[in-house]
Structure 1
Amino acid sequence: MFSTLIIQGCALSASQVPITVSLKSTPSFPACAYDYVERPEPVPDSWAARAVSPAKGTLEVSLLERISRGRIGIAYSARVISATTDDGSNVTNTLPEAICLKFAKLPYSRSLAREAWFYEQLADCQDISVAHCYGFFSSTFSEQNDTPYSLQPWCALEDPSSSDSEEEEETKPPGSPAISLDWLPDDEPCDEYKDTRNFKRDSPWNTWNFTPDNPTISVLVLELLGERCSDQWESFWPRDDPPDGLKEDTTAIMHDISIYGVVHNDVTAFNLLQFTGSEVETRQAHCPRHNVVHGWRIIDFDRSFRVDMENGTAQAKEDPPRFNPSAIGRRSSFWGKYS
């Protein structure tokens, strides 16, 4: 819908004065198809990144407060100031008052572009099992009218070019090609990952690396959801005793995305957010597959992978779930990362 994202007070000048940044709608980063056969059928046209040319409008927002930070990014809530179409029509009232902006850390724009691709591929699950995505936007410092000295979300980090902890840092496996410092699973030489249409190879993100002298600002604009499952658990839930319905709801959400061949690969209490929509939003969020409104949404797809459900082998289609419902609510697995 929008070709331009304007964020007021998002960056700082050399004199530490807040300045506005303007980002442009940017193609996402397609993944390789996950399959076992040596020569699978080519993936469908829909596997490509969504074209950004039809987007014409402008979305203007201002930062409110930081929500969370993770391995690749920092999430902020933002107030919607205005939203206009290419002909100047005001569509602000069609958007919620506040949305979520996920800023990539300095070296992780590539991973955020990959996450944006999964939201595109799961368009039918948005507002039902995954968050609504309003677009992916990026631009460099040099493309701004006023060249920033730093990005405000990065200022809260001790080292914006790294993860927050050693546990979160994911290193490139030995022998993997040095495509980018921002390593992704399908960069590794592996018979299971197939780029049958060169959608990944031909993407500008495939060889992207961050440039310290001209950083890239990348932002994924998402629906603003409620608390993380981990926050509620830590405060209110007994050990290994999640509330009624969490296992069933999470399993149903995983079923929703698996229909499209998507394997999340990081289903934890940190990546489930509570849905707290209005009455109208709740009616729109009805899941046709399970005839319910899911109480949770799954987020963070930067390390996910996908099987081509039309052309994939039977073995590939059966293997991908990689999801153990019995682990939901158990600190030994649900609290940390597991496949």
Structure 2
Amino acid sequence: MSANTVDVPMALNAISALTIHGLIADTEGTSIPVILHRTVAPLDLVPFLKLSSPDAPELDFVPFIPRPPSTLPEPGDLHVQLIFGEEKGWGRSSFVHEVNVLPTTTLPAHLPPLVLKVARSKRRAEIGREAWFYDELECFQGVVLPRCYGWFEAELAEGQSFAHWTGPNRRSSRTESSNPEWLFEGSRQLKEMSHSRNYVSVLLLEKLGGKLPRGVPLADELVKGIYDMYGEIAELGVDHRDIRYSNMLTAPQGPTTLPSLPSPFTGRIYTHRMIDIEWVKGIVRSLPTDH
């Protein structure tokens, strides 16, 4: 990377493939590099809910209003080499690890510190669903969401695996063996993905800071800011649905991070980011026409 490009942020869709070292092992348990290619979530992957009236109990799956136009350039064809690093967290659907970018002369711009969100063996559909919502909420990346540099997948050969799927100290989840079918209702593609077991599926995300402080009252300004963040995505008809302490992290800070962006609706710059958006829902409410 040359000195005159170090401060130029890389476009979110600049990367077409990843080679990841230390993620996948072969049948002998030996680590092997694996190439993952960018997967583009189709526009109709996630249906939105429509209420015929605010009080109606019936729900009907329909396409949502067109998403805001993307401001990204044409997709790039950059191939980035990553070293799989320290675990930062885990949850119902995935494991999150730091990754280090191997420097090459082909990197045209600056990448901030990154993490890789790796789906559990039976949770590919949740990663795909989350990738779709990152696309849907593109205008809020770097505002109230971390920047997402893409959804990448590879079909594994027989015997290849991610250590967390099979190891003796595998981190378990109470819901790992059962798919939350309500997430996939109305989407044939997500239902099919929920039954696939031979894919490694990941999101490449901007690394965030720490969690909210515990055991002390939060400042009124911070509390209001958090409420307002959920209000921001509601402007696009999106309900987070998984509001919890562990899903709110501080915005990136440090000499190699990218600056926070102002909200496209309010112009506000936030100090925190919400994560884990695979369980969010999109809801469109319309009043009856015959009242």
Match of 1:183 in 2: 180
Show the counterpart of 2:46: 31
CA positional deviation for 1:156: 5.9
CA distance in 1 between counterparts of 2:26 and 2:39 reads 25
**SS at 1:293 equivalent:** coil
1:116-136: CA deviation from partner (whole Å, max 9, x where unpaired): 111110000000101100000
Cα distance in 2 for partners of 1:247, 1:27 equals 35
Letter in 2 for 1:285: L
> What are the superposed Cα offsets for residues 267-322 of structure 1, whole Å, 9 maximum, x if unpaired?
110100111334796654233544442111001111110024xxx4159xxxxxxx
Moved more, 255-264 or 148-157: 148-157
Q: Which runs of 5+ in 1 are unaligned?
A: 48-52, 172-180, 189-194, 316-339
What is the distance in 2 between the residues matched to 1:283 and 1:149?
A: 39
Q: After superposition, what is the alpha-carbon deviation per residue over 1:95-140, rounded to whole angstroms, capped at 9, x for unaligned?
A: 12x3010000010000110011111100000001011000001111
Counterpart in the other structure of 1:13: 26
Partner of 1:249: 225
TM-score (norm 1): 0.68
Question: Do residues 90 (structure 1) and 107 (structure 2) align?
Answer: yes
State the shift of 1:159 in Å.
Answer: 5.0
Does the C-alpha gap of structure 1 residues 78 and 282 become closer, same or farther in structure 2, counting only changes over 3 Å? closer
Indicate if the aligned counterparts of 1:273 and 1:298 stay in contact, CA closer than 8 A.
yes
Asked if residue 100 in structure 1 is aligned to residue 115 in structure 2, the reply is yes
CA contact (8 A) 1:7 1:61 kept: yes
Other-structure match for 1:216: 199
Q: Sort the Cα spacing of 1:296 and 1:314 in 2 relative to 1 into closer, same or farther, 3 A.
A: farther
Secondary structure, aligned partner of 2:230 = helix
More strand by share: 2
Distance 1:288 1:225, change over 3 A: same
Quote how far apart the aligned CAs of 1:34 are. 1.2
In structure 2, the residue matched to 1:175 is: none
Q: How does 1:267-306 map to 2 (within 5 A)?
A: 267-278=243-254, 283-306=259-282
- The aligned amino acid for 2:101 is V
Aligned to 1:56: 77
Q: 1:94 is aligned with what amino acid?
A: H
Matched letter for residue 295 of structure 1: T
Q: Which runs of 4+ in 1 moved over 6 A?
A: 38-41
> Conserved in 2, the CA contact under 8 Å of 1:6 and 1:20?
yes
Structure 2 stretches of 5 or more lacking a match? Answer: 1-13, 53-58, 69-73
- Where does residue 192 of structure 2 map in the other structure? 207
Maintained 8 Å contact 2:211/2:245: yes
Describe the shift of the 1:62–1:249 C-alpha distance in structure 2 as closer, same or farther (beyond 3 A). Answer: same
Q: Compared with structure 1, are the counterparts of its residues 134 and 314 closer, same or farther at alpha carbon in structure 2 (3 Å cutoff)?
A: farther
Q: 1:185 to 1:157 in 2, by over 3 A?
A: farther
Offset of residue 81 of structure 1: 1.4
2:125 match: 110
Alpha-carbon distance in structure 1 between the residues aligned to 2:271 and 2:168: 32
Does the residue aligned with 1:94 lie in a helix, a strand or coil? coil
1:228 matches 2:201:
no
Aligned to 1:79: 100
Aligned length: 263
Root-mean-square deviation (CA, aligned residues, Å) is 3.1
Partner of 2:55: none
2:231 is paired with a residue of what secondary structure? helix
Work out the CA distance in 1 between the residues paired with 2:115 and 2:256: 19
Residue 43 in structure 1 maps to residue 51 in structure 2: no
Note if contact 2:24-2:31 (Cα within 8 Å) is conserved in structure 1. yes
| CA–CA separation in structure 1 for the residues paired with 2:80 and 2:104 | 5
